[in-house]
Structure 1
């Protein structure tokens, strides 16, 4: 690691980030436990919070200091102004977001007492983010240092954005979420870094998970080789509350274990997106992949300490203050 104190990396965040993808209104309710199939449980007051994987990633990157431009579509409903307003409040530039007729994207989220959640996604306007729209925004997209992509947008749109930016020398970070067990060859060829969790990695690379569930005893050299065979020289594998592993065949240390920041989780909604957003901000600011992942552990831990996705994200000073004694 470059930084003796990973929080010092917050001082380096300044780079240009483009994010293409989803913005959703999250209809969130808390319960003592998640319902079983066919079961009704009592919940607390319904909250409407800003979300969408891509919107979350953009907000997280902007809050810690990156210059972020959002690309995507919102609908003609009241949620459109709400979503754009919240992104603007986070410091995200939304001037390139398209407005279309119909509903904006939405999610229905149930959060239990331990912070675990269950999510149902309705794409709405996110399904109408087209390759033609991406082509029309070529100049703005290729003016960034890093592009962030997830799979809540049509796959042909994601591929078009990746190819355009990769050809222009923009680093492309792909979050394979919602998970697809196979990715188009064209997308893999155009993406520079892959972000997945441990279960997604195992499925994507067709490898067995450790029988005892202990990922610290897993053969990460084998995973590194399989990841390179699949087409990625760089990847981050997140391990939920156990941190992450950086697989980077371009680095002096190709495998780096990133240990978690221990906190009492209130709501894990959007924590993975805050991790992704931080990595985008780090890479755009010339941090290494491992330093970006280490900083992301702190930013995502901060997000888990309160409710909502974007609503739980902190700025640099808030994150420093929360963990300065840890």
Structure 2
């Protein structure tokens, strides 16, 4: 299966605050908020939702085309890193004037996060014509320049190409009309539980309405695992990996999506696909940075088997091309 992963490519600046943001918030004074948090460390990492997903897919043995817009600084080191990992970066547009997007995030002791995102070259994603980049079996349209997201989504619909909708971070500011346009007709809709509620609130759709506009809904629930709602049949519930020592939640959702898509590409069922997603997500949450984790075939299958059983591990072993 040929996959294209469209979305943000960014540099992550990750910081850790030892206290809790909530302790510094005064509810009745939030309109005057002016806070500064003294952080303990700073990690500068490679990131961006699409890059994280494409990287994780490569770790799972699947070479996907990365589609997004970057600055010239991307060619200094980031492109080589992804190429070496097994990502196809030929679909990346390089801006003549803008820097690569930048994500600045502070995580507190309760794993709450406050983040800002500099768009930079990502704004030029709208200039990318997906139809010129080849033929695809499935396109994931992740958080990106809004006009770029719409262009990619409409290109898929117009050409009859299956697509997965993953608006995630863009839901906070998007209105119901835009969200409906990005979701309608998707073969898969990815969200976490909060984002699922936000989609319903902003579109005015009930869960049943959302389901009627997509094929399969995939709702991640953090430590409570994931719920997968197919177009037909009962929901599939998969628990999260137990015994995880959480270090940084950044990029965990991206890695889950990659794992799920790797399962779909290997023609595995929804349960196995979700189990792959949960297993690789456990590795990411235990690591600082979104592309810094180690993944070996034996270690991955052992962890998956311990959580979901020997039959699950055997099915995944037969389906994936892990190194």
Q: TM-score per shorter chain, which class?
A: 0.7 to 0.9
The answer to whether the 8 A contact 1:34-1:117 is kept is no
- Matched with 1:234 is 216
Q: Structure 2 vs 1, CA of residues 225 and 281 (structure 1 numbering), >3 Å: closer, same or farther? A: same
- Matched with 1:255 is 235
Of the candidates 109, 130, 152, which is equivalent to residue 144 of structure 2? Answer: 152
Q: Does 1:187 align with 2:185?
A: no
The answer to whether the 8 A contact 2:200-2:207 is kept is no
Q: Distance in 2 between matches of 1:277 and 1:318?
A: 18
Q: For 2:116, what is the secondary structure of its paired residue?
A: strand
Q: Distance in 2 between matches of 1:321 and 1:86?
A: 27
Q: For 1:311, what is the secondary structure of its paired residue?
A: coil
The answer to whether the 8 A contact 2:276-2:304 is kept is no
Q: What are the within-5 Å matches in structure 2 for residues 46-195 of structure 1?
A: 46-77=42-73, 79-100=74-95, 101-130=97-126, 132-134=127-129, 137-142=130-135, 144-154=136-146, 156-178=147-169, 179=171, 180=174, 182-184=176-178, 185-195=180-190
In the TM superposition, what is the alpha-carbon distance from 1:84 to its structure 2 partner?
1.7
The answer to whether the 8 A contact 1:162-1:172 is kept is yes
In the TM superposition, what is the alpha-carbon distance from 1:182 to its structure 2 partner?
2.0
Of stretches 62-71 and 188-197 in structure 1, the one that deviates more from structure 2 is 188-197
Q: Distance in 2 between matches of 1:325 and 1:299?
A: 14
Q: Distance in 1 between matches of 2:20 and 2:84?
A: 32
Of the candidates 251, 259, 267, which is equivalent to residue 278 of structure 1? Answer: 259
Unaligned runs of 5+ in 1: 1-14, 208-221
Q: Distance in 2 between matches of 1:196 and 1:183?
A: 18
Q: Distance in 1 between matches of 2:271 and 2:176?
A: 26
Q: Structure 2 vs 1, CA of residues 151 and 118 (structure 1 numbering), >3 Å: closer, same or farther? A: same
In the TM superposition, what is the alpha-carbon distance from 1:141 to its structure 2 partner?
4.2
| Root-mean-square deviation (Å) | 2.5
- Structure showing the higher helix proportion among its residues: 2
Q: Structure 2 vs 1, CA of residues 236 and 181 (structure 1 numbering), >3 Å: closer, same or farther? A: farther
Q: Distance in 2 between matches of 1:291 and 1:118?
A: 33
Q: For 1:42, what is the secondary structure of its paired residue?
A: coil
Unaligned runs of 5+ in 2: 25-32, 308-323
In the TM superposition, what is the alpha-carbon distance from 1:318 to its structure 2 partner?
4.1
Q: Structure 2 vs 1, CA of residues 239 and 94 (structure 1 numbering), >3 Å: closer, same or farther? A: same
Q: Does 1:264 align with 2:245?
A: yes
- Matched with 1:11 is none
In the TM superposition, what is the alpha-carbon distance from 1:317 to its structure 2 partner?
4.2
Q: Structure 2 vs 1, CA of residues 205 and 111 (structure 1 numbering), >3 Å: closer, same or farther? A: closer
In the TM superposition, what is the alpha-carbon distance from 1:273 to its structure 2 partner?
0.6
The answer to whether the 8 A contact 1:147-1:280 is kept is no
The answer to whether the 8 A contact 1:19-1:147 is kept is yes
Q: Distance in 1 between matches of 2:208 and 2:294?
A: 35
- Matched with 2:12 is 26
In the TM superposition, what is the alpha-carbon distance from 1:172 to its structure 2 partner?
0.7
Q: Structure 2 vs 1, CA of residues 133 and 23 (structure 1 numbering), >3 Å: closer, same or farther? A: same
Q: Distance in 1 between matches of 2:76 and 2:160?
A: 33
The answer to whether the 8 A contact 2:14-2:43 is kept is yes
The answer to whether the 8 A contact 2:69-2:121 is kept is yes
The answer to whether the 8 A contact 2:279-2:303 is kept is no
Q: Structure 2 vs 1, CA of residues 302 and 74 (structure 1 numbering), >3 Å: closer, same or farther? A: same
